């Protein structure tokens, strides 16, 4: 069996990708230090994926622990590297912690891969590497590196590290997946996004308002140069995103070198579009109030997704209604996340 190591695989995107890979016949090993996730997700991944997961509680910055993990798992054939801290405002307050964790984990992982002859890697990058884009839709040839925060720069520098490693080792195969805005949940309602504390991102916040955990949504900015004045993003269903990882893994099995590929739908939706669609899908009114723009936010961001189709044969299939419906199913069945 083809075995894949998922660093950060207990998190939101990793858990959905684990299920997708298990359903496609891959063996899955998850290494996560649970800094932003909980152990309770593992049995749910096993339930949905229909087989056992090998779970290791490991900090990917801990060289000795990572070496032990690889030594104990000689069947690892490829790696998907999700592990990282991802909160933008926190990264502005604590840049060194973000660089230490996100870059430390990347280097430690790649050194272990090198020692153990593992040559295939898929990386969770982000549309944030494009900064404030000059034009939309954003293609992979757009300038990168103009990020305004330490989180975004940690993704950009990780991409550079991987590109340099590929130049030095012609056997390496790396796909940098630049996600746009992942939302939604597995349609079973058994796994989903489970933020600790007050959510930073739009959908988990809206979902918590809908379920009564928060009073109202604050819409950050209604004076952007967009049709309704609110920010426009390319929301993509997390199970579509998970399928994209499976395709990227297959790509690494047949190609060498480093490719950056956008994973988005190519369609933009405003904050008010999302609020409207979520109300439709849930049947719950979402009270909201306009508030100032968030520092560093951009007006419009959506992908040119053609390269993913050309190289991976992948495109998004689910629409905003599906995304809201599935988020609502997860949130209403698990109002307090995995602790329910």
Q: Which of residues 201-230 bind ligand UFG (CB under 6 A)?
A: 201-202, 205, 217-221
Whole-number Å distance between alpha carbons of 36 and 38 = 7
**Contact string 157-186 vs ligand UFG (x = CB under 6 A):** ----------------------xxx-----
DSSP secondary structure string for all residues of 54-83: EEEE--TT-HHHHHHHHHH-TTEEEEEE--
Taking a C-beta distance cutoff of 8 angstroms, is the pair 182, 238 a contact?
yes
Q: Does 330 bind ligand NAD (CB under 6 A)?
A: no
Q: Which of residues 178-237 bind ligand NAD (CB under 6 A)?
A: 179, 181-182
CB-based closest residue to ligand NAD: 11
The closest of 317, 320, 218 to 276, measured between CA atoms, is 320
Look up residue 145 and give its two tokens: 């590196």
Region from 12-20, 160-168, 271-279, 296-304 binding ligand NAD, contact rule CB under 6 A: 12-20
Taking a C-beta distance cutoff of 8 angstroms, is the pair 41, 338 a contact?
yes
For tokens 């996600």, the residue is 179
For tokens 């009270």, the residue is 287
Known active-site residue 151: yes
- 7, 33, 106, 126: residue in contact with ligand UFG (rule CB under 6 A): 126
Cross-strand bridge partners of residue 81: 7, 123
Look up residue 323 and give its two tokens: 């995304």
**Contact string 239-278 vs ligand UFG (x = CB under 6 A):** --------------------------------x-------
Nearer to ligand UFG, 173 or 262 (CB): 262
Look up residue 86 and give its two tokens: 């991802």
Instruction: List active site positions.
Output: 151
Q: Which residues bind ligand UFG (CB under 6 A)?
A: 86, 88, 126-128, 179-181, 200-202, 205, 217-221, 231, 233, 271, 294, 297
């Amino acid at each position: 069996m083809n075995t894949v190591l998922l660093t950060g695989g207990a998190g939101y995107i990793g858990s959905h990708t684990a299920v997708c890979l298990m359903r496609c016949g891959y063996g899955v090993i998850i290494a996560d230090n649970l800094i932003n996730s909980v152990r309770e997700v593992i049995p749910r991944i096993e339930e949905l994926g229909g087989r056992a997961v090998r779970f290791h509680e490991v900090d990917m910055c801990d060289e000795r622990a990572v070496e032990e993990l690889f030594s104990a798992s000689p069947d690892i054939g490829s790696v998907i590297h999700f592990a990282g801290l991802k909160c933008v405002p926190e990264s502005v307050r604590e840049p060194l912690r973000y660089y230490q964790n996100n870059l430390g984990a990347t280097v430690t992982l790649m050194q272990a891969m090198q020692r153990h002859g593992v040559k295939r890697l898929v990386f969770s990058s982000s549309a944030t590497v494009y900064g404030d884009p000059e034009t939309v839709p954003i293609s992979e040839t757009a300038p990168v590196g103009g990020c305004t925060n330490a989180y975004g720069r940690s993704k950009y520098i990780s991409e550079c590290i991987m590109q340099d490693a590929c130049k030095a080792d012609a056997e390496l195969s790396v796909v940098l997946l630049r996600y746009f805005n992942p939302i939604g949940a597995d349609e079973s309602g058994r796994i989903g996004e489970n933020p600790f504390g007050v959510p930073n991102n739009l959908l988990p916040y809206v979902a918590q308002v809908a379920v009564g955990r928060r009073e109202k949504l604050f819409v950050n900015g209604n004076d952007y140069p967009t049709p309704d004045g609110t920010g426009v993003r390319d929301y993509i269903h997390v199970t579509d995103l998970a399928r994209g990882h499976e395709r990227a893994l297959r790509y690494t099995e047949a190609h060498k070198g480093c490719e950056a590929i956008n994973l988005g739908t190519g369609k933009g939706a405003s904050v008010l579009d999302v609020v409207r669609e979520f109300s439709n899908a849930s049947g719950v009114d979402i009270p909201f109030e306009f508030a100032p723009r968030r520092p560093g936010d951009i007006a419009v961001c959506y992908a040119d997704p053609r390269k993913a189709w050309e190289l991976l044969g992948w495109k998004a299939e689910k629409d905003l209604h599906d995304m809201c419906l599935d988020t609502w199913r997860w949130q209403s069945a698990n109002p307090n996340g995995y602790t329910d």
